[in-house]
Structure 1
Amino acid sequence: MNLCIDSRKVQEGDMFFCIDGSALDGHDFAEQAVDNGAKVIIYEHDMPMKDQEGVIYIKVPSTLDALNEAAASLNGWPSKHLTMFGVTGTNGKSSISYLISKIYTKYKGECGYLGTIGGQMEGKKYDVPLTTPDIIPLQRTLEEMRRDGAEAASIEVSSHGLIQKRVGAVDFDYAIFTNLTREHLDYFKNMENYFQAKSLFFRNLKPTAVAMVNIDDPYGKRIEELCTGKFMSYAIEQPADYMAKDIVYSPEGMSFTLVHEGKEYPVTTNLQVTYNLYNLLAVAGTLDQAGLNLEDVIREFEYIPSIPGRMDEIRFGQDYRVIVDYAHTDDSYNKLLHYVRHDLPGIKRIITVSGAPGKRDAGNREIFGHYFSQYCDYSILTEEDCRDEAPKKVADEIAAGMKDGYPHEYIENRAEAIQAAVDMAQPGDIVLVLGKGAEKYLDGTTGKRYWEGDDVSARKAVQNRLEREK
């Protein structure tokens, strides 16, 4: 018997769960599920019931809770057999989750990763269409990883995943909070609702679970009051369980001193930007709590291979720099652009390529434009998941936030925009391609279509220019 929440996909003998979603109510499709062969219908409020032999109707207080229990049970409760790491927050989830999986695998045992970059474990890929997969594929994938030899799993936990109870039957051992800045306000309406969604992660931890929380973020301090697990902190600006001081930036990366329990550990890394320093503190603290040797973890920071689409520098020996980054919120734009302008030595002009998503919080578009004109020298605006909005309209709203006279242009085709930015770069300039990272699609007015990824497109653009200049 399979579990199903989409009546169109029901097959003979399946169990259908009537999920009351944000757009559709599964109770309205129970009869269709029966027509397609469902033999068990799980529901939570009154609805028409088709009287058909062999069909059982079971009423429960919450169909989401019931689905969590059923999906976990059907797969043998995989999270109870794995060391589970979960990362939530606006920015940093992918980098932290990914690094935890890689370092844990090297020093302790196979650790799978699930998140924006996809689902993966050493040498294996898993199909995960969402940052935090829906209940059924999440439990199935965790069990596949366990069967493939995983001893642990590190997953991104999105606000939508929390509010929709996708991780309701995942037994987390470590929960990390990165930060909370403006995002998804089209869905949550205000920051307090957004925080309450994130806080669900920490309100439901088992007592033995460890929460690793950024207390430089004001929302991080609030988590301590409601956390049901063991509260641990990391910070740069104030005392914390894991903190950084003596920070030095260079073109090659950064160095700092990590302080824990009165002991100081020198750290050097090829990663750049202050937000990556926070990410490293979170990784170090969490893996230390998980039993890894802190000095081993720090040693891994010295050279971290590019995380797909995250501060991914394109290097072919050219005399200008090109960096692809997934930055897509006003906070991540501010921090990245401030770093490049004020902390990264040797930079002449900053050229950006970016857009903004359609059918999302439109209030941040002018903020993007403000930051471009505050920190940068030239911006090319382009398409970026405009959905049912005209990409030029989105670009105009970004431009409305720019200072008068700030030089910019609009090139709708994203690949052409990236090529144009690379072609105008002069020695000492830096081109920042922002927003999509390694994502392999663009969501336009006709739906999703294949996109090679900003990282691939930027590499091609640099190679094209080098070829022309031979």
Structure 2
Amino acid sequence: MSFMKKRLSDIIKDVEIKERIGDADPLIADLTFDSRNVESHSLFFALRGTRADGHAFIDKAIASGALVVVCEELPGGSHPNVVFLKVENAHQAMAFMARNFFDAPSEKLKLVGVTGTNGKTTIATLLYHTAKLLGYKAGLCSTMANYVDDLMLETRLTTPDAVTLNRLMHKMVEAGCDYCFMEVSSHAVHQGRVAGLEFNGGIFTNITHDHLDYHKTFDEYIRVKKMFFDGLSQSAFALTNLDDKNGRVMLQNTKAETRSYSLREVATYRARIMEGVFEGMQLLMDGHEFWTPFIGKFNASNLLAVYGAGRELGWPKDELLVAMSRLKPVGGRFETVRSENGITGVVDYAHTPDALKNVLEAINNIRTPEQSLITVVGAGGNRDAAKRPVMAAEAVKQSSKVILTSDNPRDEEPQSIVDQMMEGVQFADKYKVLAIIDRKEAIRTACSIARPGDIVLVAGKGHETYQEVKGQRSHFDDREIIREFFEQQQ
């Protein structure tokens, strides 16, 4: 149950209501779209989703104490003590009503959204940590965790629903936070989860083959990403990556102040890698050199986005660079585990062809010809199947040996996913590919065939501490398995 109560008339302010049944103006104590969470004095949103239609749960919500129902289709029957509000789009209405219920928290924070296929989590998380190092109170909304200043809250979605988002930001305001850094997924933009939020800035990382199971076409995926920038206000900044061919597309119709960053092009903010080893790299950023424990061009680009956003937020240049030199890699993003005999394990969240390509390139730019690269990779079930053979082809192209395995198969058969990945392997390359469905066995096999000095890349799950099979989540951590194997070999 929520800690605040608001009149319905205040909650629906500026929301277009197509039809209303009931004149009452009740006090509302909570908002929810899950009938299982309805309590006395709740407002219930009947949302149409991919798996269920909230309209089917209206009676249950009313029985549990809902005083108001927001829906796209009015139900039959008589409910004299309930107010029904028919709207065009219940998802959109929920976003604006959540904003009103929680006193427009995004307007009391400096909110920066990060969108793109890869790099969202790293950039948002590093901005949060940079703000903290500079002495600010800040909040974070990301794939890995949500933070209200120092308080960590678990999360399961890249961008939560609008009620959860506004509730979270309200807590940030109450905690005295100055900033909120948020990953903005294409799903969230398309479903209106971020509607009604006032962003001070938006960052575009890149756009590559992903989520076509949802968006159907790449053009539609680009269009949805662009919608986020189209919605920014004149007082906001739009910071785009010019090293991505669609970077300029994002800025075409935005009203925001346009800024850019690049490792290659002429841009507002520029950087160059001076030196790179497994321990980190020396960067020349905006004319200043500093050492960072991150490696790879993709991480140089991520750090440059953090720098550019920090400057646009008004953070002093020298203080910003000092803070950034103290940043550490995000968990499960190019996270290294070393054995006593010199084998390097790398765990990374790369689960798209482009992300995998970037990680492989980063390793290959550092390793010597004597060092073999053994890559363990799978693909998630119930997700874009078209990327599976592409990922396998990329892994084979840039690795000495490849082991195809399970990721999170979800409701699909792991063997069929691996079979689809094998379609991307040329006949001439099959000699260096193994298929081991059991992920733990695959990781242990990769470690066992590695010689001193070799690199074992385990890609796909990164920070995740579970594996999802047939709707069941069980504990699984790639990093733990590598460490256990290395310790047993001592």
Matched AA of 2:398: Y
Q: Which residue of 2 aligns with 1:21?
A: 49
Question: What runs of 5+ residues in structure 2 fail to find an aligned partner?
Answer: 1-28
1:309-363 alpha-carbon deviations (Å, 9 max, x no partner): 0010113544111111001100111122123224444661001112101121111
The aligned residue for residue 166 of structure 1 is 193
Task: Tell which deviates more after alignment, 202-211 or 377-386.
Answer: 377-386
Cα distance in 1 for partners of 2:438, 2:148 equals 34
| Aligned counterpart in structure 2 of residue 218 of structure 1, from 231, 245, 270 | 245
3-state SS of paired residue (1:254): strand
Partner of 1:456: 480
- Aligned residue number for residue 326 of structure 1: 349
- The amino acid across from 1:372 in the alignment is A
| Residue 364 of structure 2 is aligned to residue 364 of structure 1 | no
User: Which residue identity does 2:390 align to in structure 1?
Assistant: I
**Equivalent residue number for residue 382 of structure 1:** 405
3-state DSSP of counterpart to 1:406: helix
Aligned 1:83-122 pairs, distance under 5 A: 83-121=110-148
Aligned to 1:428: 453
| Matches for 1:55-204 after TM superposition, within 5 Å | 55-121=82-148, 123-204=150-231
2:22 match: none
Residues 163, 463 of structure 1: alpha-carbon distance in 2 compared, 3 angstrom cutoff? same
Structure 1 match to 2:312: 289
SS of the residue 1:442 aligns to: strand
From 415, 422, 438, give the equivalent of 2:463: 438
Work out whether residues 467 and 476 of structure 2, in 8 Å CA contact, stay in contact via their aligned partners in 1: no
- Post-superposition Cα deviations, 1:56-89, rounded to whole Å, max 9, x if no partner, equal 1123343223211221222222211111111000
Identity %: 32
Structure 1 pair 346–301 and aligned structure 2 pair: CA distance change class (3 A): farther
Q: 1:305 aligns with which of 323, 328, 347?
A: 328
Q: Deviations over 1:106-128 (max 9, x none)?
A: 11411121111111255421132
Q: Tell me the CA shift for residue 52 of structure 1.
A: 1.9
1:190 is displaced (CA, Å) by: 1.1
For the residue of structure 2 that corresponds to 1:362, the secondary structure is coil
Q: Which residue in the other structure is 2:265 paired with?
A: 238
Q: What amino acid maps onto 2:481 in structure 1? A: S
Letter of the 2:183 counterpart: E
Corresponding position of 1:33: 61
Find the aligned partners of 2:138 and 2:292 in 1 and give their Cα distance.
23
- Contact residue 337 and residue 344 of structure 2 kept, 8 A: yes
In 1, Cα distance between equivalents of 2:445 and 2:345: 12
CA distance in structure 1 between the aligned counterparts of 2:341 and 2:188, rounded to whole angstroms: 42
Q: 1:6 aligns with which of 23, 27, 34?
A: 34
The 1:102–1:121 alpha-carbon spacing in structure 2 relative to 1, beyond 3 Å, is farther
Compared with structure 1, are the counterparts of its residues 377 and 316 closer, same or farther at alpha carbon in structure 2 (3 Å cutoff)?
Answer: closer
* Deviation for aligned residue 1:169: 2.5
In 2, distance between residues paired with 1:394 and 1:380?
13
C-alpha RMSD of matched pairs (Å): 1.9
1:415 aligns with 2:440: yes
Q: Quick one: distance in 2 between partners of 1:318 and 1:228?
A: 56
Give 1:19 shift.
Answer: 2.0
Q: Report deviation, 1:428.
A: 1.5
Distance apart, 1:5 and its partner CA = 1.1
- TM-score, normalising length: structure 1: 0.93
Give per-residue Cα distances to partners, 1:157-195, cap 9 Å, x unaligned: 111111111111321112100000000011111111001
What displacement does 1:460 show? 2.2
- Following superposition, the deviation at residue 198 of structure 1 comes to 0.8
Paired positions, count: 460
Bigger shift: residues 24-33 or 103-112: 24-33
Structure 1 residue 450 displacement after superposition: 2.4
* Kept after mapping to 1: 8 A contact 2:138/2:180: yes
Which one-letter code corresponds to 1:341 in the other structure? N
Structure 2 vs 1, CA of residues 269 and 142 (structure 1 numbering), >3 Å: closer, same or farther? same
What does residue 4 of structure 2 align with?
A: none
Give, in whole Å, the separation in 1 of the partners of 2:79 and 2:293.
65
TM-score (norm 2): 0.89
- Cα pair 2:281 2:292 within 8 Å, conserved: yes
Indicate the larger mover: 107-116 or 312-321: 312-321
1:272-297 superposed Cα distances (whole Å, 9 cap, x missing partner): 11100110110000001111122222
Tell me the residue number matched to 2:296.
273
Task: Work out whether residues 373 and 403 of structure 1, in 8 Å CA contact, stay in contact via their aligned partners in 2.
Answer: no
- Distance (Å, rounded) in 2 between the aligned partners of 1:81 and 1:107: 20
Q: CA deviation at 1:444?
A: 1.2
Q: Which runs of 5+ in 1 are unaligned?
A: none
8 Å CA contact 1:212–1:232 kept in 2: the answer is yes
CA gap 1:122/1:454 in 2 versus in 1, 3 angstroms = farther
Q: Which runs of 4+ in 1 moved over 6 A?
A: none
Deviations 1:129-157 (A, max 9, x none): 21101111111112223323322111111
- SS of 2:247's equivalent in the other structure is helix
Work out the CA distance in 1 between the residues paired with 2:353 and 2:95.
34
Separation (CA, whole Å) in 2 of partners of 1:462 and 1:144: 43
Residue 206 of structure 1 aligns with which residue?
A: 233
- Give the aligned residue type for 1:159: S
Distance 1:93 1:298 in 2: 20
- Secondary structure, aligned partner of 2:431: coil
The question of 1:42 aligning with 2:61 is answered no
